[in-house]
Each structure stands twice: as structure tokens, then as C-alpha cells.
Amino acid sequence: MAAPNPAVDHRRPSRLAARRAAREERTAQEALDARGALSVVEPARQVSISTYTLGAISLLIIVSAFVGTVFMRVRLAEGQRSIDSLNGQIIEAVALEDELLLEIAQLESPDRIRSVAATRLAMVAPQDVTYLAPVLPERPATALVAPTGDPFTPTEQFLELDEGGTGDVSQEEGQ
């Protein structure tokens, strides 16, 4: 036969231990009945983030902030370059406007107009000026005869006024 293992106690539980176990079981059962149907809940597991994961998330946030800052500065520099270009165009346009205004003033000068009229257009200033009398509503103008020949050569007929100062040539012809 095999020898009994001294580490394993093959004896029966003692009566005292059996009573104690029965009492604990009754107490536990009475406690359950008194409180209602309760169950034992496992303790919540604590979620732990490893140092490596926390470092990786922090690094990702820092890199994202850096890239965002660089992107915004690039956009700001592009906008400033565009503004500088527009300012340069404005300065050029204002300078061109000033040049053109000066040229207009020179071209509109009465001395220049007189010299161009005399040299290019062969115009001469009149020796005397003849003013025409206005046509009054109570005295309607009669039809004038169209000039013959060179219309730019003055004739005596059109330069003389009638004695009444009306400028009506038809009355002179009728006399």
C-alpha cells in the first residue's frame, strides 16, 4: 500500500469547523434575504494608459500644432506678398495718371492750340470779328441762300448787316 501524504490531511473536518461553516452559511443566507437579491460585483478594471501611448499622443498634438502654425505663417506671407504687389501696381498707376494729366494740361494749353492751328492747319486769326444777331421768336428768320463757290471765303453779302441790325439778308436783297 501507498504511504499517506503528510501534506494532505485526510481527516474529517471537525465538528466545530462544520458548525462554524453552517453558521456562516446561515448568516450569509439571512443577510441575502434581508437585503434582497444582491450579487457580488467585480471591481472595475482601471484603464491605464502606458507611458509610450501617452508620449505618442502628446507628440502628435505638438507636431500638429507646429504644422498648423507653419501653415498659417505661410498663408500670411503669401497674403502679404499679394498686398505688396497690389501696392506696387497702385503706385505705378498713380504715377501714370500724373503723367497723363500733365500731358493733357500741355495739350490743352491755349498757346499750343494757337501754334498747331497756325502751323499744321494753316489757320489765321481774323482781323475783325462780326457778331450775328439772334433770331427773335416774334421775327422768324427767313431762309438764307446757300453760298456758292468757296464757302470759307467771306463775301460782302454775308458780312454786312442791314441798317436795322437784324442781320436779315433777305431784306437787303429785296431792296
Residue 90 lies in a domain: yes
Identify the band that residue 172 occupies on the pLDDT scale cut at 50, 70 and 90: very low
Residue 76 lies in a domain: yes
Residue 96 lies in a domain: yes
What torsion, rounded to 10 degrees, do the Cα atoms 122, 125, 129, 132 define? 30
Most confident of 7-16, 96-105, 136-145, 152-161: 96-105
Instruction: Give me the domain span that covers residue 85.
Output: 51-110
- Asked whether the beta carbons of 141 and 135 are under 8 A apart, the reply is yes
Residue 102 lies in a domain: yes
State residue 7's pLDDT score: 54
Residue 65 lies in a domain: yes
Residue 169 lies in a domain: no
Residue 69 lies in a domain: yes
Residue 139 lies in a domain: no
Q: What is the pTM of this model?
A: 0.39
- 111-120 pLDDT per residue, tens: 999 899 889 8
State residue 43's pLDDT score: 79
Q: What is the DSSP string of 77-133?
A: HHHHHHHHHHHHHHHHHHHHHHHHHHHHHHHT-HHHHHHHHHHTS-----SS--PPP
Domain count, the chain: 1
Most confident of 29-33, 58-62, 126-130, 152-156: 58-62
- 16-75 pLDDT per residue, tens: 777 888 888 877 777 766 666 556 778 777 767 788 898 999 999 999 999 999 999 999
